[in-house]
């Protein structure tokens, strides 16, 4: 009796399911017919007029008509002269296939791990086991930068940091050609390098080299390069400033800096590319950016082409860069130093903090405390200008140097020599007698204490026996002396241009100093001297 009841239930369920399916199908068909019937009637092709009937009526003055295409015209001429530089560093990696071999030898890997239990293991332990042979594999690491073609036979100007350490270099032109290249020479002090295509070519497009000395802030600037592997990218801006330095001369940053600053977008991969003016003339080699994000922030730097060209020619013709050397330690003229030297605000120049014995400046009669205002006819206002102008003069050439000494103008003739690396190191570091026991001062002068130079101090600080002065033995934290950059073990040689060979002279020279007075110290630190001027605060 239960079976018929179940059959009846199944029949009911089947009928119900069928009804549901039929209802859903009908609903779908009804919906489909409604959708099909709601489609709009499509117009015939070509019957719709798109866009306005006339272009915008923009009144472009006749003088600006040609300007509408000028950047495209510049790009058309410059892009073919800028190449992608692909340096490859090749390393050989030595490794073992089995990383555990050196720890377990062949007891577990290469031998019988069960020998101790089943025999044959212990008696063979004393035998020499075969050593696993190391495997060698070549690892290739590619970079990407830019370069500018400067001769039809394949010389290319780029950055030193782009090709540094490269074992192979590939050059890719904007028209899709690829060439092998070699490094002709590089100069890390200016971040300039020259590479040359090794294949025989004579139909390369060549950049026109302009004159970066004629640039002015506000001039148009166009940057061309390969940022983020986006080849032949063109960006536009202006020359934001000239003669820029990055403030750092180490860690791979060029020591001779005279950068053009531009807001034309420069990004990683642009290094070595072209910076041109609105005439398409090469005025700089893009080299670095200021960034907090890793990308462009509107502050890019390029090496002026006049500097890059001189370095390039030295590398091509001589294989090295020759720089003039003056042999001095130099300082900026700030207001406190002007006051201490009695110089008016309109005086521009660079203060000589030290003269290296036997070097060109010493032989020419230049003295510590002189202010160089012009060299080889070029005005000098900053440390960077003097450093770069001297470096640009060929060693062996005699040039005039105009000075201010004790307020009096004078000119001396200086015969420059080649750069002395050891003396140069001492110069960059600088930019920075009494047998009785130490008798410190009362420490009221700017929060520092000084003492005579004892025999022990001479040995400890490696001071010569003839050096006369007083030594700073203590500087209070947060004092003016600390804020002015004075350090413990600095030797004070002069106060207000008067020698202080002992505590007696130092006390006499500082006894009358009161808040608001200008004070000029001559300091010796690590073997080099420099001036430090300031106004004494309360």
Residues noted as catalytic? 161, 191, 271
d(CA 107, CA 113): 5
d(CA 528, CA 83): 46
Q: Which of 146, 88, 161, 176 is nearest to 266 (CA)?
A: 146
Which residue has tokens 């008016």? 344
If you write DSSP's letter for every residue of 331-361 in order, what string do you get?
E---HHHHHHHT--TT---EEEEEE-TTSHH
3-state helix, strand, coil in the chain (%, to 5): 25, 30, 45
d(CA 509, CA 504): 9
d(CA 333, CA 382): 8
Helix, strand or coil, per DSSP, at residue 341: helix
CB 274 within 8 A of CB 206: no
Q: Which of 301, 269, 265, 409 is nearest to 349 (CA)?
A: 409
> Which residue(s) pair with 40 in the sheet?
none
Query: Which residues contact residue 26 at a Cβ distance below 8 angstroms, ignoring those fewer than 6 apart?
Result: none
Measured in whole angstroms, how far is the alpha carbon of residue 367 from the centre of its chain? 34
CB 226 within 8 A of CB 234: no
Residues in the chain: 538
Residue 431 has what DSSP assignment? -
Number of CB atoms found within 10 A of residue 70's CB: 16
Which residue has tokens 């940057």? 223
Query: In 56-66, which positions are buried (b, 16+ CB within 10 angstroms) versus exposed (e)?
Result: eeeeeeeeeee
Helix (H) or strand (E) holding 413: strand 408-415
d(CA 171, CA 184): 14
């Amino acid at each position: 009796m239960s079976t018929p009841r179940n059959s009846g239930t199944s029949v009911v369920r089947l009928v119900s399911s069928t009804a549901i399916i039929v209802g859903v199908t009908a609903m779908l068909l009804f919906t489909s017919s409604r959708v099909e019937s709601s489609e709009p009637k499509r117009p015939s092709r070509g019957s719709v007029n798109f866009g306005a009937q006339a272009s915008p009526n923009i009144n472009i003055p006749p003088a600006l008509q040609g300007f509408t295409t000028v950047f495209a015209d510049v790009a058309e001429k410059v892009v073919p002269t800028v190449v992608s530089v692909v340096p490859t560093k090749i390393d050989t990696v030595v490794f073992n296939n089995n990383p555990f071999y050196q720890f377990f030898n062949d007891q577990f890997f290469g031998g019988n791990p069960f020998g101790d239990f089943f025999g044959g293991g212990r008696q063979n332990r004393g035998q020499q086991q075969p050593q696993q042979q190391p495997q060698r594999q070549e690892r290739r690491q590619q970079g990407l930068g830019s370069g500018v073609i400067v001769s039809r036979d394949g010389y290319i100007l780029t950055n030193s940091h782009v090709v540094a350490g490269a074992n192979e270099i590939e050059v890719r032109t904007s028209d899709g050609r690829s060439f092998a290249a070699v490094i002709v020479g590089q100069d890390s002090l200016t971040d300039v390098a020259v590479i040359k295509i090794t294949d025989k070519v004579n139909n390369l497009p060549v950049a026109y080299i302009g004159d970066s000395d004629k640039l002015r802030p506000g001039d148009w600037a166009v940057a061309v390069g390969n940022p983020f592997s986006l080849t032949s990218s063109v960006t536009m801006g202006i020359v934001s400033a000239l003669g820029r330095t990055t403030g750092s001369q180490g860690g791979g940053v060029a020591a001779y800096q005279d950068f053009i600053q531009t807001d034309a977008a420069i990004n990683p991969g642009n290094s070595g590319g072209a910076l041109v003016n609105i005439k398409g003339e090469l005025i700089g080699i893009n080299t670095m950016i200021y960034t907090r994000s890793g990308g462009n922030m509107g502050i890019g730097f390029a090496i002026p082409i006049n500097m890059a060209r001189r370095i390039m020619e030295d590398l091509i013709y001589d294989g090295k860069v020759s720089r003039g050397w003056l042999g001095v330690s130099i300082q900026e003229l700030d207001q406190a130093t002007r006051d201490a030297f009695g110089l008016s605000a309109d005086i521009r120049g660079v203060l000589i903090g030290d003269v290296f014995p036997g070097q060109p400046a010493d032989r020419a009669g230049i003295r510590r405390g002189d202010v160089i205002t012009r060299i080889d006819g070029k005005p000098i206002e900053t440390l960077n200008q003097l450093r770069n102008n001297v470096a640009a003069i060929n060693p062996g050439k005699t040039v005039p140097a105009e000075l201010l000494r004790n307020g009096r103008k004078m000119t001396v003739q200086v015969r420059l020599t080649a750069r002395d690396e050891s003396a140069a190191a001492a110069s960059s570091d600088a930019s920075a007698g009494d047998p009785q026991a130490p008798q410190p001062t009362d420490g009221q002068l700017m929060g520092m204490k000084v003492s005579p130079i004892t025999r022990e101090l001479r040995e400890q600080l490696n001071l010569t026996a003839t050096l006369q002065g007083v030594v700073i033995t203590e500087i209070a934290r947060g004092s003016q002396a600390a804020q002015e950059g004075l350090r413990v073990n600095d030797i004070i040689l002069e106060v207000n241009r008067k020698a202080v060979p002992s505590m007696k002279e130092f006390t006499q020279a500082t006894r009358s100093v009161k808040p608001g007075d200008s004070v000029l110290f001559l300091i010796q630190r690590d073997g080099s001297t420099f001036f430090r001027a300031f106004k004494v605060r309360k």
